[in-house]
Amino acid sequence: MLDHTGPEPLRSARLDAARRSGIRHGFFTRKGGVSDGLYAGLNVGMGSGDERASVTENRARVARWMGVPTASLVSVHQIHSADVIVVTEPWGAERPKADAMVTATPGRAIGVLAADCGPVLFADAEARVIGAAHAGWKGALTGVLESTVAAMETLGAKRGNIVAELGPSISRRNYEVGPEFVARFVEASPDNDRYFMPSPKPGHAWFDLNRYTVDRLNAAGVKADFLDRCTYAEEENFYSYRRATHRGEPDYGRQISAIVLEER
């Protein structure tokens, strides 16, 4: 009997409202795991250099809280793309390459990993269709959010009924980018200039990935918001690729954000 015990994740009020339809979700932090050293906590990154036994146990703890067997906690090999996969059955050790998943199959917990990029969870409570997307700057710019919504529609969701929440990700005050980065966004749309604020470093700017992501979702007809939790600033709660890079550390952990349709 699955008991939903395990590390307590952050949750979204708008997604919690879907709980009555049997939709369970969680934005897990780094707390509550067995990894140590650079990965101390709930590191679920299969691609990290952490001990495989520790990662496996951490994923088992997440699965238990989600109320599914460990094998039914599904994640992909993320490649910063706009590619989406429809999940019906768990896959084995060979994870497909993509950056989002959708499902209408109960008992399949779909989860995306992040360590500064934006984890976005989606739900249409009426149609009982869910989605999860890994939206870093490249994925968000090239359409992973819109691709996820479109894939949900193929399973019966209506975008006007979809709610989405962006989980913990790097905040603007810690996300400095160079002029070529700014140019890429402004070339895609002059309106994107509003997501950048000049930084003290000549030619550089602070980028608001959170607001950019939520605005893309709202423009797609989805009701969306974000948790406003910074992975870079909150070291005790989150792993951060950029923080590890700034410190010259050789690797970093990943946290997971997951959603599931419970069996009825």
Mean pLDDT taken over the chain: 96
pLDDT at 2: 52
30/215 Cα distance (integer angstroms):
27
Q: What structural domains and CATH numbers belong to the chain?
A: 13-171+208-261 (3.60.140.10)
Question: pLDDT band for position 93 (50/70/90)?
Answer: confident
Judged against a pLDDT cut of 60, whether residue 42 lies above it is answered with yes
Per-residue pLDDT of 104-127, as tens digits, reads 999 999 999 999 999 999 999 999
List the structure tokens of 24.
């369970």
pLDDT at 120: 98
pLDDT at 3: 60
Of 172, 212, 169, which is closest to residue 189 (Cα–Cα)? Answer: 212
Tell me which of 264 and 162 has the higher pLDDT.
162
Question: pLDDT band for position 128 (50/70/90)?
Answer: very high
Per-residue pLDDT of 189-231, as tens digits, reads 999 999 999 999 999 999 999 999 999 999 999 999 999 999 9
Judged against a pLDDT cut of 90, whether residue 64 lies above it is answered with yes
As a whole number, mean pLDDT of residues 72-100 equals: 95
List the structure tokens of 86.
């429809």
Q: What is the model's pTM?
A: 0.97
Q: Provide the percentage of residues in the chain whose pLDDT is more than 90.
A: 94
pLDDT at 5: 76
- Contacts for 183 with CB less than 8 Å, ≥ 6 apart: none
Tell me which of 264 and 224 has the higher pLDDT.
224
Question: pLDDT band for position 1 (50/70/90)?
Answer: very low
Output b/e per residue, 1-29; b: 16+ Cβ within 10 A: eeeeebbebbbbeebeebeeeebbbbbbb
- The C-alpha torsion from 54 through 23 and 117 to 227, rounded to 10°, is -110
